[in-house]
Each structure stands twice: as C-alpha cells, then as structure tokens.
Structure 1
Amino acid sequence: MKFYIASSFRNIETVRMAAERLISNGFVLTYDWTHGAATSIAELETIGESEKQAVMESDVVIIMLPAGKGSHVEMGIALGTGKQVFLYSPDETVNDLALTSTFYHLPEVFKVIGTIEELIAEVCSKAAFY
C-alpha cells in the first residue's frame, strides 16, 4: 500500500518518524519532501509536480496538522481523486470552529486525534479495509 504524508516544515521530524513506522509495517512512501525547501520558482515547480504525482500515486494520504497551504492543496487533490485520507491532529484544535476547515469533517476523512502511535495504528488497521 502506497502512502504520502502532507504537512508543514515545522513537523519534519514527526513526518519522518511516521513514515519510518509505516514503512516498517510494509507501506511504501511515494515521495519524501522533508529534505529541503525550494530556493527558486523553478524548484517550486519541480517539487509541486513531484508532490502532485506522489498524491495521485498514493492509496493513502495523511494530512498532519498543523499544515500549510500546500498540504491543503494536496488534501484537495487526494479528496478529488478518491484517495483514502487520514487527518492527524495531536490535539482537539481540529474541532475548534474558529480554526477548522469544512473539509476536515467530510465523512470520507478519517480523523485521528492523539499520538503518532495512534495514527499509525489507525492507518494500519483501516487502510486495508477501505
């Protein structure tokens, strides 16, 4: 099962840890964006193409909050192409009306609030049954 994790640069270590745990459970990462930020518009275009392709090749897309604008675009691509979407939040912020998004609450989005271990367990248990 192929997966992609969308998040912000401030979550790089958590993204890497989650990816390693999923890989150790037999999942395949479609793209690792955690190795550096773009330094030019041309690089942004190349990275954007790689990330779009990675989402489209994935069976499972994880949106790890807090996330930036790119992650929300990736979530839109995932929802629009019928991917299985897991929305991870370490706390209840995802349910705060002042901070949440309508798309977080769609029935096809699996919300996981808690620890990374809980996220991994949910992805491993639900990914095969979607």
Structure 2
Amino acid sequence: MKFYVASSFKNIDIVRSVSNCLINRGYIHTYDWTQNNKATTLKHLRIIGQHEKQAVLESDFVIVILPAGKGSHIELGLALGQGIPIYLYSPNNDIDDFETTSTFYHLDGIVKCRGTIDSLIEQIDKRNRKG
C-alpha cells in the first residue's frame, strides 16, 4: 500500500517518524517532501507542487498531521475529491474543537486519530492490513 504524509514544516520530525515507521512495516512512501529545501522561486514552488499532487493521487491513503498549513489542506482536498482515505491526526482534541476545526474534518473518508504517534501507526496498520 502506498501513502503520503501532509503537514507543516514545523512537524517535519513527526512526519519523518511516521513515514519511517510505515516504511519499516512494508508500506510505500509516494513522496518525501521533507527532503526539499525551502522554495526560493515560483518555478521551484510549481515543481514541488507537481510532485506533491502526483504523490497524493498515487496514494492508497493520506495522513494529515495537525497543525498543518495551507498546502496540507489543499492535499487533504485533493485526496477527498479522489475518494482517497485520509487519516487526520492530532495529539489532542483540536479536530473536534468547534473554534478551530474545519468542516472538511468531519466528512466521510476522514478517520480521526488522536493520541500518540504509535497509536496512529497501529490504527493505520490495523485498517490497511489484509488477512
């Protein structure tokens, strides 16, 4: 199974940890944006955007780690529009906080995950393993 992880640069260590855990369990990472340097030109932004869009569309599921930036929310929208399952992770209850939540966090196709990174990985693995 293929996956993509969306989040903000401030969560780069968490994104890498989640990605490595899933890769170690046999999942395929469609694109590792954490290896990118910060874009300095519009051309570079476009190239990164093309890679990220393709990676989302090639994924069997997408993980969005909160707090996330505008790019991550666009990736969430791409996945929703294509019917790709989304694991929306927050270490706390921000997902359901009426003041900070998004209408899109509550749609079908979104699996809300809270707690530890280990519990996120276990939930993903349990839902995606056959047998």
* TM-score category (smaller protein): over 0.9
Partner residue, 1:63: 64
Query: What is the CA RMSD across the aligned residues, in angstroms?
Result: 0.9
1:83 and 1:57 map into 2 onto residues whose CA distance is 9
Partner residue, 1:41: 42
Partner residue, 2:54: 53
TM-score (norm 1): 0.96
- List per-residue Cα deviations over 1:40-75 (Å, max 9, x = no partner): 110000000000000000001000000000000000
Partner residue, 1:107: 108
Whether 1:8 aligns to 2:32 is no
1:128 and 1:82 map into 2 onto residues whose CA distance is 19
**Are the equivalent residues in 2 in contact too, given 1:65–1:89 (CA < 8 A)?**
yes
- List per-residue Cα deviations over 1:83-108 (Å, max 9, x = no partner): 11100001111111010001111132
Aligned length in residues: 129
Give unpaired runs (5+ residues) of structure 1: none
| CA displacement at 1:39 relative to structure 2 | 1.1
Partner residue, 1:21: 21
TM-score (norm 2): 0.96
Percent identity over the alignment? 52
1:107 and 1:30 map into 2 onto residues whose CA distance is 23
2:129 and 2:61 map into 1 onto residues whose CA distance is 10
| CA displacement at 1:33 relative to structure 2 | 0.4
1:108 and 1:17 map into 2 onto residues whose CA distance is 24
